Chains A and B, each alone.
Chain A
Amino acid sequence: MTAELRARIRDGDTEAFGVLFDQHADAVHRHAVWSEGDPALAEDVVSLTFLEAWRIRRSLHPDGDSLRPWLLGIATNVLRNRRRAARRHREALRRLPVRDTVPDFADEVVARMHDVDRIAAAVAALRSLRRSDREVFLLCVWSQLDYASAAEALGVPVGTVRSRLSRARTRLRALAQQELAAPRTNPAEQPRTVPVEQSRMSSVEQGEPR
């Protein structure tokens, strides 16, 4: 199944490419949100990742399992050099339909806003990691790729993935210890107070899909 999909994509079958989008767009989107820390910036990354995937489709290996590592690897490159990717696909981005400005439901907007705050908080800790360590952490832990897949995505040896991940984890553990030892007292660093609407939304958030 995957082998056939790979072959069809390599051959420039747009229908197969549509299937690829259906299968992995959400994973790419999630990865982009986590990396950028901001959902507003993630949509373009999704488009750029798939545009890049189409451009380099002939470099896709004919055999292998899921195409997710390949796509997340491309997404990682796009995120590393967003401006370069945007320049390369300037014309295509120009044709991208504008974002709908009228939201479907006011409630959803509130949920999305809260989402932004929560993501920003979770991502803040990762900012202290080296970029290469952060990439491995995101791929292996949050996007749940195995070591071999993460190695494939990043184009580095498996041993490098292991060592970067272990370095990332050590660093994050050290940070968590520091936070426990010295609770923040600076009011500027206190978490933002939760607006009334958001507390109303809290029951919905619990059941939010990943």
Chain B
Amino acid sequence: MSEPTAPPVLPLRPARRQALRHHLLREAQRPARRSRRRLLVLAPAAVLAAAVTAGAIAQAWAPDSAPLVVTVAQGDRGGAALLLDQVAAAAEAGPAPSSGEGGYVYVKSRAAYAELGGGPARLQPMYTREIWIPRYERGDGLVRQPFSTWPFIGPVVSRRTLPDMTPNAEIVDLPSDPDQLLAKLYRERDRRGMGDSGDGAAFTAIGDILRESLMPPRTSAALYRAAAKIPGVEVVRGVTDAVGRPGIAVAHTDLRRRDEWIFDERTLEYLGERSYLVTATEVGPAGTVLGTMAVLQRAVVPQVGQRPRT
């Protein structure tokens, strides 16, 4: 026998099957909720790569935002390794994150994501997101971001507890050797990354770690040096982050979508992320922005919900 045959599976118990059916039909009969809320619930972890939500009304594009369609600049594959090495060196030379004592990592960002599904992508209004991540021990975190945005009234902010979060220490607990680090990410791609190719998943996984965490300089450096080894990474010049700061990007293209990490051109500090279509698809022309995010502040705070003093 050359291949495993399908093992028989006992069907769901009739009573359980009935319970699932009943639950499902009750849920289907509920009035549909505003899909914007769903999008925001989605945003935290799925962030740039995600975004598949059913149609909603088009919303005004906030003034501090990047345009909906950007120019797809030619990427430079040869320059990626050099740039990432410089970024890694800058990160290594930077200050250690333990500047403050406290049990929580605080990250504040501005972001906007396109809503996809049933027609062209529509970039939703820019919003501010604040997250509190337990620093050492697994536990409850907190996210503060708009629940919905109303005309004239503006964003209605909600605070939501994130139960049983992986602590920052565990997120950044990575090998300092770039090859080992990359091997680990490829191994864990099913769990960590998305995208159809292993390389895309590894790039996404590193992006996820960079976005909302506080990293020791050596770990950041290892992440950037590992990224340099991912086939297909390239440099994109003349890019702008979500709050309009100019920068230089390291990018990876997968499934007709280019994901960029944006760095300050001078200090090489991480500014944020951006994602857009590189070729026209049913959701929009080339350059259609799917998501854009800028990190404004990272700090250590004593308590969950508390903001840094500065």
- A interface vs B, CB < 8 Å? 12, 14, 17-18, 21-22, 25-26, 29-30, 33-34, 39, 43, 46-47, 50-51, 54-56, 58-59, 81, 83-84, 87-88, 90, 92, 95-97, 99-100, 104, 111-112, 115, 118-119, 121-123, 125-126, 131-132, 141-142, 169, 172-173, 176, 205, 208-210
Contact (Cβ within 8 A) A17 B6: no
**B13 close to chain A: CB less than 8 A:** yes
Question: A41–B89 Cα gap in the complex (Å)?
Answer: 45
Question: A54–B22 Cα gap in the complex (Å)?
Answer: 14
Contact (Cβ within 8 A) B4 A21: no
Contact (Cβ within 8 A) A92 B7: no
* Interface 1/0 per residue, B37-70 and A, CB below 8 Å: 0100110011000100010000000000000000
Tell me whether A111 and B23 are in contact in the complex, defined as CB-CB below 8 angstroms, given that A56-B117, A126-B4 are known contacts.
Answer: no
Contact (Cβ within 8 A) B21 A25: yes
Question: A111–B13 Cα gap in the complex (Å)?
Answer: 13
CB distance from A17 to the nearest CB of B (A): 6
Tell which of B10, B22, B24, B27 touches A115, judged by Cβ atoms closer than 8 Å: B10
Contact (Cβ within 8 A) A84 B9: no
**B118 close to chain A: CB less than 8 A:** yes
Tell which of B8, B15, B25 touches A100, judged by Cβ atoms closer than 8 Å: B15
Residues in B neighbouring A47, C-beta threshold 8 A: 20, 23-24
Question: A92–B41 Cα gap in the complex (Å)?
Answer: 14
Residues in B neighbouring A56, C-beta threshold 8 A: 54, 117
Contact (Cβ within 8 A) A172 B25: no
Contact (Cβ within 8 A) B9 A59: no
Cβ-closest chain B residue relative to A17: B28
Residues in A neighbouring B19, C-beta threshold 8 A: 97
Tell which of B8, B13, B22 touches A208, judged by Cβ atoms closer than 8 Å: B8
